[in-house]
C-alpha cells in the first residue's frame, strides 16, 4: 500500500493523515494477536500456523481491492463531479478504512513464530543467527518487489483501459487495486507448501525435549504468562533496547513510508519512477545491510556486549544522513497564477511582480481559483490551470491559443520538468542511510534474545513486536501524514471539505521531514549509550552459547572422572 499512497490520495481525495491512518489500520490486528501468538509459539504446529495466517492475509488483501469495484470510475478533469459521485467516493473511502484493518489479523503475527521456529531447529547458535539474518534480509527485500511492482501498476491506468493521457498528466490514476489482487493470490498459493513442513526439521539433543516439556507445562498457565511479562518489564536492557527500536520504527513508518511521495513532491517525479527509485535504492540497500549485519555477527562471533557496541556505532554514524538531507532538495516550483490565501489577487511564486502582462491577462480570464490543473507552457513556466494560461482551445493533449503565454502559446498537462540536480545526490545519501542503518538489525535481534532468560525468549519477541507496533508502526504514519499536511499550500475541495493536497512547499516539507529524523536519531543514540553502560556490567547473559559451554563443562567433568577412575584402576592392578 505504501507504494500507492499518492494514487490513493488522488483517487479518494485523502489527506496524508488519512492515508497514514489507512497504513496504521494494517497494525490493529497485529496488536490483537501478537502477544497470544508469541505465548503459544512453541506449543503450536508453527508451519501450519504460518500457512493458515498467510492464507487469511491473502484473502484480506484481495478484499481490499473491493474498494475499487465499489467506487465509481475516476472522473477526469474534463467532467465535473456530481454530488452523487462524491457520496459514492465517500462511501468507498470508509469501506477501504474497514478493509485495511483485517489483513494483519492473520498476516503479521508471524514474526515471533518465524524466529522461534528458526532458533528451535538449530542447535548451533551461529547457524541460527545466519538463518535469521537471511530471513530478515529477504523480508526487507520483499518491499523491493512491492515497490517495483507498485511502479508497474502505477504505469497502468486505473480502469485498465487505453486512455489519451500520460503518466505526468494530473488526471492520471494508476491501477492501485491491482497489487492487492496479485499479492493476495500469491500469498494464498505460496502458503500451501508450508502445510507440508514438519513440526521439527531435526531431532533435538536429548536434554532439549525435557526442557521443552517442562516449559510447555509452565507456559500453559496464565500465571506464567504474566510472570514472563513481569520479568521482561523489569529487565532494563531489554526495555531500553526495545524503546530505541520503537523510535527507529517510528521513523520508518512516519518518514520512510512516505519517501515515494517525498520524491514526487520534492523532485517532481512521476509515481512510477519514485517507486522504482525508492524500492531499487533505499529498500534494496536496507536488505543488503541486514544480511551483511548478520554475516558480521556470525563471522566475528559477536557477544551481546559487542552487538550493542556495533548498534551504538551504527546509530551514531547514521545521524549524518538527515543532516545532509537538509541541503539536498529543490525549491518550490514556480506556479504562475497561484492564488493568495489572504485576498483575491494573484501571486506569482518566485517571479517578478513587474510582469504586468501576465497578471493582467490572468485577471481578465476570471478563472476559478479552486480548479487546480497545472499545465506547462511553451515559455517553460508552469501555470495554475489552462484558464490561467489563457488557453482557448485544445488539440488532443495540447492546449492552444494561450494568450497569457504569448503569441501562439501552447501548454501541455502537468508541471514543467524541474532543472534541479539534487535528486541523485539525495539518492546516494538514501543508499548510505538504508545500508548503514540496517547493519544493526540482526545484532539487535540477537541482543534481544540474549538479554532475557531462555524461558522468556518467545515472549520477548512477541512483547517487542507488540510495543514496536503500538509505539512505532501505528502512530507513525498518522503523525507523519499530519506533518506532510502542514506543508500543504493548496487543497483540493470537495462536498465533504478539503480533499487531497495538490501543492506543497518543498522547503517546509524538507525541513520538517529531516528535523524529525535528526532529533529522533539523537534520542536513539542517547538510549543506546545507556544500554551500552548497563551491558558492560552484566555478566550472566542467557544464551544458547552458555548452554553449549555448560554442555562442554559437563563433558569435561565426565572425561576427568573417567580418567581419574581409569587411573585408580591401573593403580590397583599395579599393586
Per-residue pLDDT of the chain (575 residues; tens, 9 = 90+): 777 888 888 888 888 888 888 888 777 766 766 666 655 555 667 777 778 878 887 888 888 887 787 765 544 433 444 444 454 445 455 545 444 444 444 444 455 555 555 555 555 555 556 666 666 666 766 777 788 888 888 888 888 888 888 888 888 888 888 888 998 898 889 888 877 877 766 555 444 444 444 444 444 556 777 888 889 999 999 999 999 999 999 998 888 889 999 999 999 888 888 888 888 888 778 878 888 998 898 888 888 899 999 999 999 999 999 999 999 999 988 888 877 654 444 444 434 344 555 666 766 777 877 888 899 998 888 898 888 888 888 888 899 888 888 778 899 998 888 888 899 999 999 999 989 988 998 899 889 888 888 888 878 888 888 898 889 888 999 999 999 999 998 888 766 556 788 889 999 999 999 999 999 999 999 999 999 999 988 776 754 444 443 444 444 434 443 444 444 343 334 33
371 and 484 housed in the same domain: no
281 and 393 housed in the same domain: no
Bridge partner residues of 58 (DSSP): none
365-378 burial, b for 16+ CB within 10 Å, e for fewer?
bebebeebbbbbbb
Bridge partner residues of 504 (DSSP): 488
469 and 347 housed in the same domain: no
Query: Which residues lie closer than 8 Å to 151 by C-beta, 6 or more apart?
Result: 3, 271, 272, 273, 274, 275, 276, 279
Residue 527: all three cell numbers together: 538510549
387 and 513 housed in the same domain: no
Residue position matching grid coordinates 501478537: 34
327 and 352 housed in the same domain: no
β strands within 348-496, DSSP E: 375-377, 382-383, 393-395, 398-400, 411-413, 488-494
271 and 359 housed in the same domain: no
- Alpha carbon dihedral 12, 14, 20, 21, in 10-degree steps, equals -80
Handedness of CA 514, 520, 522, 524 (dihedral sign): negative
437 and 514 housed in the same domain: yes
184 and 321 housed in the same domain: yes
160 and 250 housed in the same domain: yes
d(CA 219, CA 110): 19
Residue 163: all three cell numbers together: 486512455
Quote the number of domains for the chain.
2
CA distances from 441 to 322, 383, 447 (A): 19, 47, 10
Provide the whole-model pTM.
0.79
* Domain housing 402: 335-413
284 and 177 housed in the same domain: yes
Amino acid at each position: 500500500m505504501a507504494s500507492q499512497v499518492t494514487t490513493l490520495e488522488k483517487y479518494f481525495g485523502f489527506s496524508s493523515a488519512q492515508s497514514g491512518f489507512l497504513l496504521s489500520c494494517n497494525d490493529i490486528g497485529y496488536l490483537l494477536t501478537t502477544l497470544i501468538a508469541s505465548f503459544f509459539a512453541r506449543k503450536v504446529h508453527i508451519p501450519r500456523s504460518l500457512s493458515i495466517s498467510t492464507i487469511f492475509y491473502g484473502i484480506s488483501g484481495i478484499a481490499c481491492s473491493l474498494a475499487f469495484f465499489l467506487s465509481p470510475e475516476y472522473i477526469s478533469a474534463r467532467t465535473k463531479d456530481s454530488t452523487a459521485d462524491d457520496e459514492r467516493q465517500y462511501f468507498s473511502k470508509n469501506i477501504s478504512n474497514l478493509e485495511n484493518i483485517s489483513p494483519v489479523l492473520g498476516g503479521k503475527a508471524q514474526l515471533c513464530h518465524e524466529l522461534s521456529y528458526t532458533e528451535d531447529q538449530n542447535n548451533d547458535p551461529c547457524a541460527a543467527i545466519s538463518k535469521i539474518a537471511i530471513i530478515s534480509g529477504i523480508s526487507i527485500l520483499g518491499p523491493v518487489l512491492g515497490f517495483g511492482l507498485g511502479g508497474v501498476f502505477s504505469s497502468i491506468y486505473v480502469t485498465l483501459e487505453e486512455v489519451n493521457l500520460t503518466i505526468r498528466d494530473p488526471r492520471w490514476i494508476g491501477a492501485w487495486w491491482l497489487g492487492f489482487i496479485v499479492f493476495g493470490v500469491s500469498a494464498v498459493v505460496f502458503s500451501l507448501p508450508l502445510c507440508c513442513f514438519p513440526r521439527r526439521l531435526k531431532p533435538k539433543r536429548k536434554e532439549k525435549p525435557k526442557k521443552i516439556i517442562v516449559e510447555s507445562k509452565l507456559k500453559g498457565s496464565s500465571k506464567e504468562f504474566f510472570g514472563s511479562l513481569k520479568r521482561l518489564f523489569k529487565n532494563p536492557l531489554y526495555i531500553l533496547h526495545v524503546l530505541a527500536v520503537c523510535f527507529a520504527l517510528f521513523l520508518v513508518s512516519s518518514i520512510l513510508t512516505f519517501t515515494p511521495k517525498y520524491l514526487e513532491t520534492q523532485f517532481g517525479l512521476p509515481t512510477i519512477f519514485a517507486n522504482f527509485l525508492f524500492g531499487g535504492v533505499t529498500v534494496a540497500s536496507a536488505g543488503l545491510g541486514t544480511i551483511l549485519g548478520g554475516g558480521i555477527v556470525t563471522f566475528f562471533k559477536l557477544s551481546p556486549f559487542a552487538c550493542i557496541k556495533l548498534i551504538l556505532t551504527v546509530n551514531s554514524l547514521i545521524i549524518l544522513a538527515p543532516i545532509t538531507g537538509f541541503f539536498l532538495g529543490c525549491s518550490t516550483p514556480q506556479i504562475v497564477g497561484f492564488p493568495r490565501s489572504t485576498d483575491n489577487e494573484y501571486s506569482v511564486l518566485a517571479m517578478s511582480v513587474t510582469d504586468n502582462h501576465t497578471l493582467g491577462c490572468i485577471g481578465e480570464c476570471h478563472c476559478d481559483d479552486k480548479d487546480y490543473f497545472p499545465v506547462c507552457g511553451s515559455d517553460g513556466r508552469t501555470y495554475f490551470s489552462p484558464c490561467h494560461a489563457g488557453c482557448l482551445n485544445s488539440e488532443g493533449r495540447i492546449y492552444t491559443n494561450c494568450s497569457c503565454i504569448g503569441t501562439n502559446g501552447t501548454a501541455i498537462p502537468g508541471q514543467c520538468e524541474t532543472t534541479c540536480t539534487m535528486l541523485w545526490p539525495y539518492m546516494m545519501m538514501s543508499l548510505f542511510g538504508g545500508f548503514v542503518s540496517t547493519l544493526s538489525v540482526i545484532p539487535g535481534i540477537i541482543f534481544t534474545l540474549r538479554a532475557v532468560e531462555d524461558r522468556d525468549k518467545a515472549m520477548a519477541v512477541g512483547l517487542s513486536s507488540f510495543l514496536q507496533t503500538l509505539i512505532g508502526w501505528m502512530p507513525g504514519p498518522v503523525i507523519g501524514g499530519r506533518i506532510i499536511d502542514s506543508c500543504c499550500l493548496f487543497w483540493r475541495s470537495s462536498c465533504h471539505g478539503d480533499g487531497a493536497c495538490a501543492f506543497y512547499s518543498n522547503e517546509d516539507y524538507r525541513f520538517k521531514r529531516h528535523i524529525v529524523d535528526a532529533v529522533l536519531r539523537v534520542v536513539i543514540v542517547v538510549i543506546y549509550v545507556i544500554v551500552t553502560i548497563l551491558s558492560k556490567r552484566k555478566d550472566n547473559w542467557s544464551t544458547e552459547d552458555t548452554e553449549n559451554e555448560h554442555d562442554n563443562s559437563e563433558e569435561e567433568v565426565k572425561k576427568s572422572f573417567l580418567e581419574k577412575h581409569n587411573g585408580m584402576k591401573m593403580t590397583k592392578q599395579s599393586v
